[in-house]
Amino acid sequence: MNIKFLLPKARAFVEKDEPPKRASQRFRGIVPLKYMLPTDGYIDSVDEATKDDIVIVAKAASVEDIMYLKDNGIKFVFDVCDDKWRLGRDHRSNTEIMNTGCKHADMITTTCEQLEHTIYLQCERHAHIIDDPYERDIEPVKFEPGKHLNLCYFGGRKSFSMVNWEELFAILDSMKIEYTLHATTQKYQYAVQRLTRLGQFLSKHDRLKLYEWDYELQAKLVRECDFVIMPISNTNPERVYAKSPNRVIDSIAQGRYVITTHGVISYDNYVKFIGMGSMKRNILWALDNPKSVISKIEEGQKYIQKHHSPRVIAKQWMSLRNKV
């Protein structure tokens, strides 16, 4: 059996040797495929699949896609990498896709224990956890903060929109430090407009530099920063608690120190390698303990190379041949 990831619209990026913009298509397809069998691959649409394939179906699929595979006797795995039940602007269609996929799939996969638990509560089926890989090469560890700190934030537009930026800037400004916060997300203008409607006016913060997301730009901003910060929304906990730790993993791979607030349960697995909790307390501790910070990042890199390398994750996907 061949493993084929259903990745709609990915071919346009791959043929130009560009990474797809959708993170889930990279982490849950393109990256591990580099270390899988030559007969494995991806497809743009379900009508490319055959009965010799095991198709990995993600949230970008439709109910029609799922039923096509079911009705044609093609084995498929429903890969759940976000809690889309009853959430979002398209909550009705999302819920229908999630329920249909979980009902008819030969197997369900997911990213972390929290989503596995959610899946069981929603459909009374157990899911098999396949971790996310890091998608960039391991880079040298660096922590040499100067008088002026460079902070970096990256994430999807929805995550960006849920950050309490006013609270974050109040915390950073209270520390009496010189800093610039470089933040990147997709279509950030729309996120800024939404935040403005919610009473957050990012344009007034001259220490904030916003950039349209680009794969290489993200790497550059992380590489040039002193801290990667990931403030987690505490007003929408149901939208964030079951997130994958891929942003943490990728930042560690690039050799940078991550500071995050509480809220994403999967981040707890990396607490030995990052700062978690109070943004202010963790930044001040890191500035006072640079050698300890470097040691934490180095240990983090050892951990992710053991558990999250693309080659390790490829083996997890290939093991499905014996399970479906």
143 within some domain: no
Residue 300 belongs to some domain of the structure:
yes
Domain-embedded: residue 195: yes
316 shares a domain with 303: no
- Any domain includes 138: no
* pTM attached to this predicted model: 0.93
Least confident range from 11-25, 124-138, 210-224: namely: 11-25
276 and 217 fall within a common domain = yes
Range of the domain at 288: 148-307
140 assigned to some structural domain: no
Cα–chain-centroid distance for residue 108?
19
* Shared-domain flag, residues 161 and 260: yes
Q: Do 302 and 313 lie in a common domain?
A: no
Question: Does residue 237 register a pLDDT over 90?
Answer: no
Beta-carbon contacts of residue 290 (< 8 Å; ≥ 6 apart): 143, 144, 145
Greatest mean pLDDT among 83-87, 91-95, 185-189, 294-298 lies in 294-298
pLDDT in tens, 266-279: 999 999 999 999 99
Over residues 179-202, the pLDDT tens digits come to 999 999 998 888 888 788 877 888
Q: Are residues 37 and 73 in the same domain?
A: yes
Claim to verify: residue 264 and residue 282 sit in the same structural domain? yes
- The predicted structure's pLDDT at residue 162: 85
On whether both 17 and 92 belong to a single domain, the answer is: yes
Confidence of residue 9 (pLDDT cuts 50, 70, 90): confident
- Same domain, residue pair 243 and 99: no
Cα separation values, 183 from 20, 93, 151, 189, 216, Å: 20, 31, 8, 12, 14
CATH number of residue 10's parent domain? 3.40.50.2000
pLDDT of residue 15: 84
Within-domain flag for 92: yes
- Range list of H helices, the chain: 10-14, 23-25, 31-33, 63-71, 91-104, 113-123, 157-162, 165-174, 188-197, 215-223, 237-240, 246-253, 279-288, 290-307, 310-318
Q: Is the same domain home to 91 and 188?
A: no
Please tell me the total count of domains within the chain.
2
For residue 241, the tally of other CB atoms under 10 A from its CB is: 18
pLDDT in tens, 121-130: 999 999 999 9
**Of 25, 79, 51, 117, which Cα lies nearest the Cα of 316?**
79
Is residue 85 domain-shared with residue 183, that is, in the same domain?
A: no
Tell me which amino acid residue 2 is: N
Distance CA 111, CA 237 (A): 18
105-122: per-residue pLDDT in tens?
999 999 999 999 999 999
Residue 89 has pLDDT above 80, yes or no: no
In a domain, 139, yes or no: no
With respect to residue 243, please indicate whether it lies within any of the assigned structural domains.
yes
Give residue 45's Cα distance to chain centre.
24
27, 112: one domain: yes
Same domain membership, residue 110 and residue 6: yes
